Amino acid sequence: MSRKQAEPEAAENHERWIVSYADMVTLLWALFVVLYALSDSNPRKLLVVQQSIDRAFEVGVFSGSTGSSAVLSGGGGIAPNVAGLKASVLESLSKEIMEFTSQNNLGNRIQVRADATSITISVTDTDNLLFGSGSADLRPGSQVVLDEIASLLEGLPNQIRVEGHTDNVPVNSDQYDSNWELSAARSVRVLRYMTENAGLPADRFSQSGFGDTRPIAENTTPEGRALNRRADIVILYPTQQELDEALAGAGTTPKETTP
C-alpha cells in the first residue's frame, strides 16, 4: 500500500507585519499632530490640522493587496479624536466670535454652528445690522463685523460660500421681483465686501441666495424674522477630490504594494 502523500504547507505570508507597522506609524503621527494642535488655540491652525488628520484616516496611509486582501485601506471612518478636534475648531472660532460680540455689544446678532460638511458663521439682521428693509446695501455698522470675520477667514485654505437669506415677508420693491433676487443680491454684496474691501482671494468664494426657504427661527414674530434675514458665511470642509489633489501635490499619494 502506498503511503499517503503529505499535503504541501501553505506559503507563509511575510507581509502581515506591514499592517501592524502601518497602524503604529499612523497612530503615533496622529498623536503628535493632536498634541501640537491642542497646544495652540488658533482656529486657523486647528482647522488645517483637523483636515490633515481627516486625510490620514479617510484616505488611508497605504493601499494595495497581497493576493485579494488589502494591506491597509482607507475609508474606514473618522477616528474619535478627529471628531473631537473638529469640536475644538468650532469652540475656538465660537470663542473669538463671542469675545468680539461682547466687546461690541452685538448680543446674538452673530451665531456659529457646524455640521458634517462645514462651519457656518451667521450674521443676522437684528436691529438692521446688515441691510435696510428690502435693500442689499450694507449699513455702515456692518463693516466692523465683516472685517472681523474676514480676519478669521484670512489664514484658512478652505473654500467659502456666502449665502443670503430673507424672512417670509414679500418684497415691496421695484428693484427686486421676489425674496429670491433680494437674497442673491445680499449674498453678492457680502461676497464683494470680503474680496474687494477685506482683500480675501476671490477664487475661494462662491455665493447662493435662498430667499425665505431656510429659516432658523419662526417668522411669526419680528425677532424671528430678524434672525431669518441673515448672511451665512460657510467655511466648507474639503471635498474628496480636493483631498486627493492635496495628497498628490504633497507627494503622499497612496502607493501600491506588490505581493
Q: Where are the domains of the chain?
A: 17-85+241-249, 118-236
Between the ranges 49-53, 176-180, 238-242, 248-252, where is the mean pLDDT highest?
176-180
pLDDT digits 0-9 by tens, 176-197: 999 999 999 999 999 999 999 9
Predicted confidence at residue 213, as pLDDT, reads: 97
Half-sphere exposure of 149 (CA within 13 A, CB side): 27
Retrieve residue 223's grid coordinates.
Answer: 425677532
Predicted confidence at residue 67, as pLDDT, reads: 37
> In this structure, which amino acid lies at residue 168?
N
User: According to the CATH classification, is domain 118-236 in 3.30.1330.60?
Assistant: yes
Backbone angles phi, psi at 231, to 5 degrees: -115, 125
Predicted confidence at residue 221, as pLDDT, reads: 94
Retrieve residue 63's grid coordinates.
Answer: 493601499
236, containing H or E segment: strand 230-236
C-alpha distances in Å from residue 86, one per residue of 16, 37, 50, 118? 33, 11, 6, 10
Predicted confidence at residue 218, as pLDDT, reads: 94
* Burial bucket for residue 189 (CB in 10 Å: 0-12, 13-18, 19+): buried
Is the confidence at residue 102, as pLDDT, over 60? yes
